[in-house]
Amino acid sequence: MDRREFLKASAITGASATLAGCGHPEHQLIRFIPEEELVPGVATWKPSICPLCPAGCGLLVRVMEGDAEVVRNGQIGLIKMGLAKKLEGNPAHPISQGKLCVRGQAAIQITYHPDRLRHPLKRTGPRGAGAFQEVTWDQAIDELASKVGALAEANNQGALAFWMRPSRGQRRELVAQFLHRFGAPPPFSFELFGEDVLRRANALSFGREQLPTFDLARTRYVISFGADFLGTWNSPVSQNIGYGLMRQGRPGQRAKLVQLEPRMSQTGANADEWLPIRPGTEGVLALGLAHVILNGRMRSADAAGRAGTLVDGWMNGLPDFTLPHVETLTGIAAARVERIARELAESAPAVAIIGGAPLAQTNGLFHALAVNALNALVGSVETPGGVFFTPIPNASSKPDAAGERERRRQSAAPTLDKLAAGILSAERPPIQILLLDEANPVFAAPPAWRVKDALQKIPFIASFGNFLDETSILADLILPDHSFLESWVDDVPEAGTTMAVASVAPPVMKALHQTRAMPDVLLDVARRLPRLNPPLPWQTFEQMLRASFEALPARAAPQTTPGVQPAVDVWSKAQEQGGWWAETPAGTRPPPNVATRDPGRPVSFVAARFDGETNEYPFHFLPYASQAFLDGSLAHLPWLQELPDVVTTAMWSSWAEINPKTAERLQIAQGNVVEIASRHGSLRAPVLLSPGIAPDVIAMPVGQGHEHYTRYATGRGANPISLLAPIVEEETGALAWAATRVRVSRVVGADLQLILFAGALRERPHEHEGR
Amino acid sequence: MAVDLDRCTGCEACVTACHAENNIPTVGDTQAARGRALHWMRVERYWEGEFPDVRLKFRPVMCQQCDAAPCEPVCPTYAAHHTDEGLNAQVYNRCIGTRYCANACPYNVRFFNFFNPSWDKPLHLQLNPDVSVREVGVMEKCTFCVQRIKAAEVQAKAEDRSLKDGELKPACAQACPATALVFGDLNDPESEVSRLSRSPRGTKLLDDQGTQPKVTYLQRQSSE
Ligand code: SF4
Ligand code: SF4
Ligand code: SF4
């Protein structure tokens, strides 16, 4: 059959399926079609949720029949089954609105990854050597249950720990309830690019301990302090949608974007004005702007309410932030600061955004509180064109809300550095059993925290993750999870919409391998523990999800998708369209989700501290979330490895960005290999000359440099985290990942290659220039 | 197609969406270093100025579907040809790999298969059955997702109606979160793409080459 005939043939099947009366087969949401109902060549679309970042975009998955090679009971066979073919955004979903980011498009490669763990494994060789043998699910679950049971026998329940990626749905709630009933501490998360500083600031300023949502579509002016909100930060898809609208969505009205950052990010590239601010002084600039606005009587100090009172000197017009002083500290000319302040005050609605590196300084909380006060001053909090906080639906499943308890305990939870130090210093580690769910702190933590050494001391580690990485390779037992497309998934987005959203979706396809869903494995383990008190009330994760969604108010029953029979209840509707969501009635503000604590004395500017003396380590080191891999957790996907990074066009490799003038001074040329060294480590990478970086800054994307992470990422490039100093934000204890200083020297004779898409054989950029 | 450069953020969702839709293989580091990576859709970037007054501009580039396509007359086998609908099509079965067309195309959007594509199993299960996989020696490029165009046409015909504007999108435009990519019927003066193509911000890429590209780029604006 040639291509034309093939097209014709599939066209005919497509047409007859249509005539059979199901309307729009291309875009239908059907819950779980029995496989035999799949028509060869005709696609069905099912909802799911992108698991790659905390944004939680709703997906539609194109499912078609195909032949998959599977192993069942030791036999290889070919079965016809529904296979996911492509991911698109779910048009009905309030976050993704039918769109996805570059990473979400590639998420499908997780399910079909050749190096996925396909069955339970038990360690045979020494820890970390990667030698495992296959065991049955019964053996694996028995072993886990007996180890956990033994802890309870010994009355040592507190020595069970569960480390997972941050999430907010019922999956985490299940883990929390399990741990709570068992008597163990709540689940723990550590992320390199964690957002604790911003959450804390928002709790203090606005009583909302969560990430913000920006109404870009209706704003007229955006000033962003280091936030790569169009690339990798917060809720990129919804922010890109809003950006398109703020530029060209309203005839004759185009909002302005000002970006402040020492290295031009993808977002910075889109700015109308890009200002390389001195690292660690972002809040000074925000207060400089507020100073101009206050002293020019463009707004009054009490307009900022509580957020203003948190800043020292606010009510007196911020006398410490005069323009000359701001210029000296930030490196931004006084005249410019003044002009931007006036634009900001005159362009209502305007909004200020802070994210990324400024918060990862030792004085990060100050910057966030300063920007919050600026937003409050210009009247952009919870007003159109400003900053909002997504209402969180009360989807917490009965009978008791471990989540709430957990949240309270979490605020007093130890940080990873303290946990590791506690294990290393104790004769008998305070953690005897560690359960891992995709968390990879060995890769993501600075070497000085010695996380790997600490894990080596834990007597028993079990991992649920899909892949072997730097952390899970230390496991004694591996109970691999289904991929997200093979499981029940749920999520409660923290930001990105003004609607209350709880996403949920049934499995899109059958499991390819002999994996089991982590929540169901946990429930299985729980059933085997006699001492779980009270026992968990659900037999399956599906039951738990159902209970939580049935508890949601039906009044917010979402509008139905055209062509789909209206479903009868909240639960069926939610499954059908990929979640539950409800508009907040106009004019109502969601209530604060934290008690507004007394902040004590107001904050004032204290200069950021950096690790390393300026004369010995002359450069600021800026690791940044890469467009392809974020924090490195996506480096295993080949589409993302071969994605030309949009700012540099680099693929499959690591690189270090240096200002051309600096490079000239150091006699370094593009592609030369350099050694970058901090007080805590060194690495080698090829140099990429970038006009968009300050002369005293060296930047590197995070993501490569994995020791163990599938055939595509292992041994590729260098990990910038390995240079980071164990220095923290002083108020929150969060890692200050932008506070390390480095030195750079050329290495002759090293053969590390810079792989660029542009400038290689194909592209001749000069031909397009100037058109 | 119209590309609004004032909306495009360089997020590259379009790039991966194209890989997923059109069975574009990855080639790995060694071949990528030799300039053999295949990206029917790419986002070009241009630096202007010097630090600190630098600008970085993005431009998504795919086959411009030229009306006077220089890639067509040079093909000895009529593999590169014009369809009745005005698409520049590539018949893979006819292509004998002279690569004349790639030389003739001023936009560098044609990609040659230097070897047979491979997918480490079971990555091949993701392949889109509506799109043929190209073999060694064959030239390939953006098709405007002809398989999606066909499917939408068939659907509309089965329902005895004409296609609605915006009903059908190539994978890149479907993915684009900022709605920078707008696809539609240029023969319909009322369509969104026609409206955008008449914009005073509209330009064509390498207009002076006489290729008569069907893609209009709407220039980025400035607030200063
Ligand atoms: S922003 Fe991208 S990676 Fe994050 S959830 Fe959405 S599609 Fe997935
Ligand atoms: S852009 Fe290149 S490949 Fe496309 S029609 Fe024009 S000349 Fe041919
Ligand atoms: S998806 Fe849209 S916004 Fe993103 S790079 Fe492509 S054209 Fe630009």
Q: Does the structure show a pLDDT above 60 at A566? A: no
% pLDDT > 70, chain A: 87
Q: How many CA atoms lie within 13 A of A684 on its CB side?
A: 13
Q: Which of residues 62-101 of B touch A (CB under 8 A)?
A: 91-93
For A18, the closest of B58, B155, B222 (CB atoms) is B155
pLDDT tens, position by position, A423-464: 999 999 999 999 999 999 999 999 999 999 999 999 999 999
pLDDT tens, position by position, B135-159: 999 999 999 999 999 999 999 999 9
To test the pocket of ligand 2, the residue of B88, B99, B204, B215 to mutate (highest count of ligand atoms within 8 Å of its CB) is B88
- The C-alpha R_g of chain B, in whole angstroms, comes to 18
Q: So what's the pLDDT on residue A571?
A: 92
The tokens of A754 are what? 């810079």
Q: Which of B15, B171, B125 is nearest to A109 (CA)?
A: B125
Widest Cα–Cα separation across chain B: 59
What is the spatial distance between Cα A464 and Cα A525, in angstroms, rounded to a whole number?
13
> Distance from A368 to chain B by nearest Cα, in Å?
25
**How many whole angstroms from A275 Cα to the centroid of ligand 3?**
24
> Distance from B187 to chain A by nearest Cα, in Å?
24
Q: Does the structure show a pLDDT above 90 at A745? A: yes
Q: Flag whether B224 is in a domain.
A: no
Pair B139, B99: CB distance under 8 Å: yes
Pair B190, B197: CB distance under 8 Å: no
The tokens of A756 are what? 């660029």
Q: So what's the pLDDT on residue A751?
A: 82
Please state, rounded to an integer, the average pLDDT across all residues of chain A. 89
pLDDT tens, position by position, A220-269: 999 999 999 999 999 999 999 999 999 999 988 999 999 999 999 999 99
Q: Flag whether B79 is in a domain.
A: yes
The tokens of B65 are what? 């579907």
pLDDT tens, position by position, A427-438: 999 999 999 999
User: Residue B123: which domain range?
Assistant: 2-218
For B16, the closest of A105, A275, A649 (CB atoms) is A105
Q: So what's the pLDDT on residue A565?
A: 47
Q: What is the DSSP letter of B59?
A: E
pLDDT band (50, 70, 90) for residue A9? very low
What's the sign of the alpha-carbon dihedral A613, A614, A618, A620?
Answer: positive
pLDDT tens, position by position, A467-513: 999 999 999 999 999 999 999 999 999 999 999 999 999 999 999 99
Element (H, E) at A640: helix A638-641
> Distance from A172 to chain B by nearest Cα, in Å?
29
Q: Which domains does chain A have, with CATH numbers?
A: 3-111 (2.20.25.90), 121-191+403-552+577-581 (3.40.50.740), 213-388 (3.40.228.10), 619-767 (2.40.40.20)
**Interchain CB contact of B121 with A (< 8 Å):** yes
% pLDDT > 90, chain A: 80
**Interchain CB contact of B187 with A (< 8 Å):** no
Q: Is the peptide bond before A54 cis (omega within 30 degrees of 0)?
A: no
For the CA of B211, the nearest atom of ligand 2: 6
**How many helices and strands (H and E) does chain A possess?**
23, 24
Element (H, E) at A451: helix A451-457
What is the spatial distance between Cα A393 and Cα A592, in angstroms, rounded to a whole number?
13
Average confidence (pLDDT) over A557-583? 72
Pair A753, A655: CB distance under 8 Å: no
> Distance from B206 to chain A by nearest Cα, in Å?
7
Mutate which: B23, B30, B36, B51, vs A, most A CBs within 10 A: B51
- Nearest-Cα residue of chain A relative to residue B54: A692
- The complex's ipTM? 0.96
pLDDT tens, position by position, A703-734: 999 999 999 999 999 999 999 999 999 999 99
Pair A581, A528: CB distance under 8 Å: no
Q: So what's the pLDDT on residue A592?
A: 66
**Interchain CB contact of A91 with B (< 8 Å):** no
B130 contact residues in A (CB cutoff 8 A)? 7, 10
Pair A224, A260: CB distance under 8 Å: yes
Would the pTM count as exceeding 0.90?
yes
Q: So what's the pLDDT on residue B223?
A: 73
What is the spatial distance between Cα A648 and Cα A385, in angstroms, rounded to a whole number?
32
**Interchain CB contact of B200 with A (< 8 Å):** no
Pair A111, B20: CB distance under 8 Å: no
pLDDT band (50, 70, 90) for residue A2? very low
Element (H, E) at A740: strand A740-746
Angle at B187 between CA B186 and CA B192, to 5 degrees: 45
Average confidence (pLDDT) over A697-704? 98
pLDDT tens, position by position, A585-641: 655 666 666 665 555 678 999 999 999 999 999 999 999 999 999 999 999 999 999
Q: So what's the pLDDT on residue B166?
A: 87
The tokens of A91 are what? 């048009």
Q: So what's the pLDDT on residue A29?
A: 36
Q: Does the structure show a pLDDT above 60 at A409? A: no
Weakest mean pLDDT among A75-89, A561-575, A715-729, B169-183:
A561-575
Total domains in chain B come to: 1
What is the spatial distance between Cα A641 and Cα A634, in angstroms, rounded to a whole number?
9
Mutate which: A247, A257, A655, vs B, most B CBs within 10 A: A247
A466 contact residues in B (CB cutoff 8 A)? none
> Distance from B31 to chain A by nearest Cα, in Å?
10
pLDDT tens, position by position, A281-314: 999 999 999 999 999 999 999 999 999 999 999 9
Place of tokens 């998360």: A189
Q: Which of residues 263-282 of A touch B (CB under 8 A)?
A: 264, 266-270, 272-276
Give the bridge partners for A756, in sequence order: A650
CATH of the domain at B127: 3.30.70.20
Q: Flag whether B223 is in a domain.
A: no
> Hey, how many other C-beta atoms are within 10 angstroms of the C-beta on A16?
12
- Nearest-Cα residue of chain B relative to residue A20: B158
Q: Show Cβ contacts of residue A329 under 8 Å, excluding neighbours closer than 6 positions.
A: A278, A281, A284
Q: Which of residues 37-76 of A touch B (CB under 8 A)?
A: 41, 64, 66, 68-69
**Interchain CB contact of A423 with B (< 8 Å):** no
More confident residue, A561 or A712: A712
The residue nearest atom 4 of ligand 3, judged by CA position, is: B11
Q: So what's the pLDDT on residue A448?
A: 96
> Hey, how many other C-beta atoms are within 10 angstroms of the C-beta on A173?
25
The residue nearest atom 3 of ligand 3, judged by CA position, is: B8
Pocket lining for ligand 1, CB < 6 angstroms: A 50, 52-53, 55-57, 100-101, 103-104, 236-237
